[in-house]
Amino acid sequence: MTSLEFTDQVQKISYSLKPVAMNLTRDADDAKDLVQETLLKAMLNKDKFKAGTNLKAWLYTIMRNTFINNYNKITKRNSNIDSTEYFQYFNTNENYITHNGATSDFVVTDINEAIAGLSAEYRTPFMMYYIGYKYLEIAEKLQIPIGTVKNRIHIARKELKQALKTYAPGV
């Protein structure tokens, strides 16, 4: 299809784009802008259109994707919450903050006891993973298959979750 034929066909179909754009945007000016942007993208990407396929559907797809992208940009731009008005109620005076070290000491003690309660075959890969080793590194150091490493870490997490369920919120 030549460039002239493509332009002629797009021009004929362009009149049917306006009602669809109006349905998407619900605003006459936005609909005109959407049609123009669709036609511009079609002209810039005419080499991507395959002759013999449905040109009208191709244009509708461009229009729909353009509308969705514009909508996402607008909602992302407007979704920032201005929280400055809430900071006036936020008390940052250090005199009003208390630290209860006893509670955190109990939690840390319970976590350490739970980890110590794991069998060595689960505790070792779990602690290596916790320290920062990757699965493959653990498998090489312990000379076991990587699937076994993943399984043992999973079981260790499961056992720790069960042992520390008193600290789970809402459970």
Domain ranges of the chain: 3-78, 102-167
Q: State the Cα–Cα distance between residues 62 and 70, nearest whole angstrom.
A: 12
The two tokens of residue 103 are 């509670």
Residue 42 has pLDDT above 90, yes or no: yes
User: Which pLDDT band holds residue 76 (cuts at 50, 70, 90)?
Assistant: confident
What SS3 state is found at 29? helix
Architecture of domain 3-78: Orthogonal Bundle (1.10)
Tokens 């298959």, located at residue: 145
Residue 92 has pLDDT above 70, yes or no: no
Long-range pairs for 30-38: beta carbons < 8 A, 24 or more residues apart: 34/63, 34/66, 34/67, 34/70, 35/63, 37/66, 38/62, 38/63, 38/66
What pLDDT digit, counting tens, does each position of 140-159 carry?
Answer: 999 999 999 999 999 999 99
Q: How many CB atoms lie within 10 A of CB 71?
A: 12
Cut 0.85: pTM above it = no
Q: From 1.10.10.10, 3.40.50.2020, 3.40.50.2000, 1.10.240.10, which CATH number describes the 102-167 domain?
A: 1.10.10.10
